[in-house]
């Protein structure tokens, strides 16, 4: 089983949108997927409630329960667990990263968003986890996108 975390300590960058889309795509590819929603806003859980589909499974838990939930997913034969993280909380980011095989860090191209992204990358690097940055809400033109790409490449 693989564990993917979608994390950013910045709110509104598309963590839940990315997590739910990846879960549906993985299911369409034949994987058994679960989303563990550790965000107090429980947006992925709300998505599940209004989606009216049996799968993917979505459970909202406190970060302290993350390890137990991942074990339960493994015991149930899950192929992929996607952790939908919470904004601001460094301890939540740390806990999710600890249990992950790979971390995706979404960020908008705006300078304040890319600056905030570095705080999440600090936590991921501390734990020596592989990661990728995904640009979200990318404007179709302008210097902002080029600047964001340059900043990310530098990091």
**Sequence spans of domains, the chain:** 2-154
Hey, is 130 helix, strand or coil? coil
Q: What is the mean pLDDT of residues 111-140?
A: 89
Tell me what the pLDDT averaged over the chain comes to. Answer: 92
**What pLDDT, in 10s, does the model give residues 110-119?**
888 888 888 8
What's the first-to-final CA gap in the chain, in angstroms?
A: 29
pLDDT number for residue 147: 83
**What pLDDT, in 10s, does the model give residues 65-75?**
999 999 999 99
Q: Is 6 exposed, middle or buried (0-12, 13-18, 19+ CB in 10 A)?
A: buried
Taking 90 as the threshold, does the pLDDT of residue 140 lie above it? no
- Tokens 């493994």 locate to 74
pLDDT number for residue 52: 85
Nearest to 97 by CA among 125, 61, 59: 125
Look up the CATH number of domain 2-154. 3.40.50.300
- Structure-block tokens of residue 149: 């790409």
Q: Is the dihedral of CA 43, 49, 52, 54 positive or negative?
A: positive
Residue 133's DSSP bridge partners are 105
Q: How would residue 104 be classed by pLDDT, with cut points 50, 70 and 90?
A: very high
């Amino acid at each position: 089983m693989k564990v993917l975390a979608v994390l950013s300590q910045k709110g509104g960058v598309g963590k839940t949108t990315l997590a739910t889309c990846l879960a549906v795509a993985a299911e369409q590819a034949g994987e058994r997927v679960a989303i563990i929603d550790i965000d107090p806003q429980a947006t992925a859980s709300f998505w599940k409630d209004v989606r009216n589909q049996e799968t993917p499974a979505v459970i909202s838990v406190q970060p302290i329960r993350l390890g137990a939930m991942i074990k339960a997913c493994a015991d149930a034969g899950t192929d992929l667990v996607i952790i939908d993280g919470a904004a601001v909380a460094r301890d939540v980011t740390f806990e999710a990263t600890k249990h992950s095989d790979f971390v995706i860090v979404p960020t908008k191209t705006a300078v304040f968003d890319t600056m905030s992204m570095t705080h999440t990358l600090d936590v991921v690097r501390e734990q020596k986890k592989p990661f990728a940055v995904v640009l979200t809400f990318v404007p179709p033109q302008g210097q902002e996108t080029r600047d964001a790409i340059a900043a990310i490449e530098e990091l």
